[in-house]
Chains A and B, each alone.
Chain A
Amino acid sequence: MSDALSGARSATRTALLTVRLLDEGRVTGPVADTSLLDQLRALDDAERALTTLVPPDAASSEDRTTGLDAVGPATDAVVAAREWVAARAGGDLDGAPGLPPSDAALVADLEAATAQLDDALAEAGGP
């Protein structure tokens, strides 16, 4: 369980780094988009690992539920980040429901998702 949560946390932190680099103009749109796509795959792997796990006891079951609760918002935040990248690249996304209202809101969402994953990982006994 901690491996899956550790992978999810790593993916969210990478997404946060990618967004910051794009915001500073240090990375191109295609590289940012590819990076976020790769992180979505990593989050998908983490979610699959958690959903297919058979918990051996009640404590593990609770940890799994907490973990899944943390991976969901992280995935949403990275999906929103991809829309933000597409909008910056000139995509016609005005008023799209998944588009973050501002750059700061996107960063805040990613930071909150990372913090939630940190807590879930600590609960599961991870590093």
Chain B
Amino acid sequence: MKRLAGAALGILTAIGGFVDIGDLVTNAVVGSRFGMSLAWVVVLGVVGICLFASMAGRVTAVSGRATFEIVRERLGPRAGGANLVASFAVTLLTLTAEIGGIALALHLASSVEPRLWIPVAGLAVWLVLWRAKFTIMENVAGLMGLLLVGFAVALFLLGPDWGELMRQAVPPSPPGTEHPATYWYYAVALFGAAMTPYEVFFFSSGGVEEKWTARDLTTNRINVLIGFPLGGTLSLAIAACAAVVFLPMGIEVSSLSQVVLPVAQAGGVLLLAVVILGIVAATFGAALETALSTGYSLAQYLGWSWGKFRRPARAARFHLTMIVAVLVGVGILMTSVDPIMVTEMSVVFSAVALPLTYVPILVVANDPEYMGDRVNGRFLNALGSVYLVIVVAAAAAAIPLMIATGAGS
């Protein structure tokens, strides 16, 4: 039971990766326009993130150090720097979107303009980063985010034709009303969101925060095998709700307020309230995760003292980085930029940055100097190599598809 409770890190990481503000809307958009025909991308993303997060967690458990520190040391400042710049930029964009997501969720609950909520959301994120302990933060945000299971409950209450949903999913093909390029644009966006770089950096740094050792390899596996498949399942439930309610009505989702309407239709006000609370918690958790990831990646690259397990005065530059990142995010949002557009951009750019993140992890997980006899086996390396090919293809296709389809419009 204690080990299962220890899966909070995996759950929080997965909620950031699979059901943050961008994913909530993107999954519903995909469900309303393509039915379940892109479900295979979520499955592909879950397997990929499980593979690389487990490698990153194993590196942390065996070496006692976060992945980014070792990447910088093993590959040198230039390769590490390229990795840092790409992942930091994507993470900052995502943090901006998440703070906007908190504001949009609170707007949904209160009707008060999102611009009034944005500074409140930024302040709340900073206060938690400053004052709350890592374990409390991950347990509360991760477990509250589980309220999004309301989407799965709503799907069952809607009483869908399961055979029809399966027919949409297998064999996967774009509906006749949509252009194949748009289909592939959303496939790349969903894949980029599932494997977004900050997930592995947050996960491995979280392992250091929790003081993992080689004896915690089972905890690492439990986190990976519970957290990420759970995130993927929630992601599919959101898409399925949209496919059941919106696809037959010809409604295309473009806002967060539409995402919750199937839940209201299925479960009424009570289930709606549960899901809105879950959305606030999930976006808040994702904002904490991305803000911490900005601090982790920069501090680990530059060799600064870092970690929530240290008092802020002992990791001043780490905390300063997070404060600046939150302020930049709030500043961008106060210009009235659409948070959903920001997050859609961030998942596409995250697809572009994927090779810079995952190639170094595969290299480090095979280095006996750090891993001793815990290096990757042949099967993991073969699967990792297959995923690197997919990751490179997604990275190469992301920008051309975005331009060709007008960002999926």
User: Interface of A with B (CB < 8 Å)?
Assistant: 3, 6-7, 9-10, 13-14, 17-18, 21, 25-31, 33-35, 37-38, 41-42, 127
Contact = CB atoms under 8 A, between A and B. Distances in A.
Interface centre among A10, A21, A34, A41 (most CB of B within 10 A): A34
B109 interface: yes
A90 to B, nearest CB: 13
A35 B257 contact: yes
Nearest to B270: A26
B305 interface: no
Contacts, number: 70
A7 B273 CA distance: 28
B108 interface: yes
Contact of B264 (A3, A26, A29): A26
B251 A28 contact: no
B95 interface: no
Interface centre among A18, A26, A41 (most CB of B within 10 A): A26
B interface SS class: helix
Contacts of B107: 34
A interface SS class: helix
B31 to A, nearest CB: 14
Given A30-B110, A31-B260, 15 more contacts: A7-B254, A10-B254, A13-B250, A17-B245, A21-B261, A26-B264, A26-B265, A27-B272, A28-B269, A30-B111, A31-B108, A31-B109, A34-B107, A35-B258, A127-B177
B409 interface: yes
A30 B252 contact: no
A33 B255 CA distance: 13
Contact of B268 (A25, A37, A127): A25
A108 B251 CA distance: 19
B257 A38 contact: yes
Contacts of B257: 31, 34-35, 37-38
B25 to A, nearest CB: 11
A86 B94 CA distance: 34
A31 B258 contact: no
B403 interface: no
B249 interface: yes
Given A38-B255, A42-B254, A17 B111 contact: no
A3 B409 contact: yes
Nearest to A31: B108
A38 B258 contact: yes
Contacts of A38: 254-255, 257-258
Nearest to B264: A27
Given A3-B409, A34-B107, A34-B108, A27 B261 contact: yes
Contacts of B250: 6, 9-10, 13, 127
A17 B252 CA distance: 13
- The 6 lowest CB-CB distance pairs between A and B, nearest first, are A38-B255, A35-B257, A30-B111, A27-B264, A10-B252, A34-B257
Interface in B260-293: 260-261, 264-265, 268-269, 272-273, 276
Contacts of A9: 250
B251 A26 contact: no
A127 B177 CA distance: 7
Contacts of B268: 25-26
Nearest to B252: A10
A53 to B, nearest CB: 15
Contact of B252 (A7, A18, A29, A33): A7
Given A26-B269, A38-B257, A31 B252 contact: no
